[in-house]
Amino acid sequence: MDPVEASVGWGVLHLFYRVDARRADDEPGGAKRVLDAIGGFVDDDHRVLTFTVLGHKADLGVLALGPDLARLQALEHDLALAPLVPTWSYVSLTELSEYGATEDDERARLAAEESVTDPAELEQRLTTWRERIEHYREQRVHPRLPMKRTICFYPMSKRRESHANWYNLPFEERKRLMAGHARVGRTYAGRVLQLITGSTGIDDWEWGVTLLADDPAALKEIVYEMRFDEVSARFAEFGPFYTGLVLEPREALARVGLE
């Protein structure tokens, strides 16, 4: 199987299933099929998070990501051999935001907000900024997802209505608005890990948002607070929300009735 890799970013699959209880009873070993599929997929770059879904939209969720889309497709095929009925899926790629701060932006911010103009101090501060931004960019494109206790996923798009068309705004205005949006998100650093993936031209919506937190209240709080930000209040359309409990694969399967 020849690999299929994007020039930038990794492939991301959000897969949701119901357990076919009758088939699970008739075909013992359903859990082993899932565990074998995941075990054959996971390596240093290809990862999986499994979670039990709260509510009736699905029983089991699988978040899989890695550079090779062919391996992602093979995982999806292998999971279909288990007594699982697909209920929904989402396809996206990890990406860097086009609105991310540049070194010139940081230089201007240091001068305007902190009055840093001395060349030696400025270079020291920029060196620290470069290290931090490099780590941030690496995490966005090649994420290492921690085992937080809860997960929330939803797709979203930007509006194109006559009174609120995101794509008619000049780039600098969009960048200004997104900078304010990002500031709200940064207040949840340490409480909520946010993975934003791009799906324009790949799936029905334009972005996928994955939130991971130990405290489920933090998932509610970050989405609620961000909806008051102008980017969300004026320009955001949201798809379905899936929330679940992140567990090791064997435990997740046992929780949904696959032993």
Q: Is the distance from CB of 231 to CB of 225 less than 8 angstroms?
A: no
β-bridge mates for residue 11, sequence order: 66, 93
| Residues 238-254: tens digit of each pLDDT | 999 999 999 999 999 99
Per-residue b or e along 49-58, where b marks 16 or more CB atoms closer than 10 Å to that residue's CB: bbbbbeeebb
What does residue 83 show for φ and ψ, rounded to 5 degrees? Answer: -75, 60
217-225 contact pairs (CB < 8 A, 24+)? 218/188, 218/191, 218/192, 219/150, 219/152, 219/192, 219/243, 221/188, 222/185, 222/188, 222/191, 222/192, 222/194, 223/152, 225/184
| Residues 28-37: tens digit of each pLDDT | 899 999 999 9
> How far is residue 67 CA from its own chain's centroid?
15
Q: Is 167 a catalytic residue?
A: no
Mean pLDDT, rounded, for 57-83: 97
| Residue 194, pLDDT score | 94
Mean pLDDT, rounded, for 132-155: 93
| pLDDT category of residue 7 using cuts at 50, 70 and 90 | very high
> How far is residue 217 CA from its own chain's centroid?
18
Mean pLDDT, rounded, for 168-185: 91
Mean pLDDT, rounded, for 61-85: 97
Mean pLDDT, rounded, for 116-125: 87
Mean pLDDT, rounded, for 52-76: 98
At residue 61, what is the residue type? G
| Residue 100, pLDDT score | 85
| Residues 86-99: tens digit of each pLDDT | 999 999 999 999 98
Q: Dihedral sign, CA of 158, 54, 148, 187? A: positive
Chain-wide mean pLDDT for the chain? 94
Give the number of other CB atoms < 10 A from CB of residue 240: 12
At residue 106, what is the residue type? E
pTM above 0.85, yes or no: yes
Pairwise pLDDT comparison (37 vs 103), residue with the higher score: 37
Give the number of other CB atoms < 10 A from CB of residue 83: 23
Return the closest-CA partner of residue 209 out of 64, 92, 96: 92
Catalytic residue among 17, 99, 136, 154: 154
**pLDDT for residue 1 is more than 80:** no
Return the beta strands (E) in 115-259 as ranges: 150-158, 160-161, 164-165, 193-198, 207-213, 236-238, 242-247
* CATH number for the domain formed by residue range(s) 11-95+247-255: 3.30.70.1030
| pLDDT category of residue 230 using cuts at 50, 70 and 90 | very high
Query: What would you measure as the largest C-alpha separation in the chain, in angstroms?
Result: 74
Residue 74: DSSP 8-state: H
**pLDDT for residue 25 is more than 80:** yes
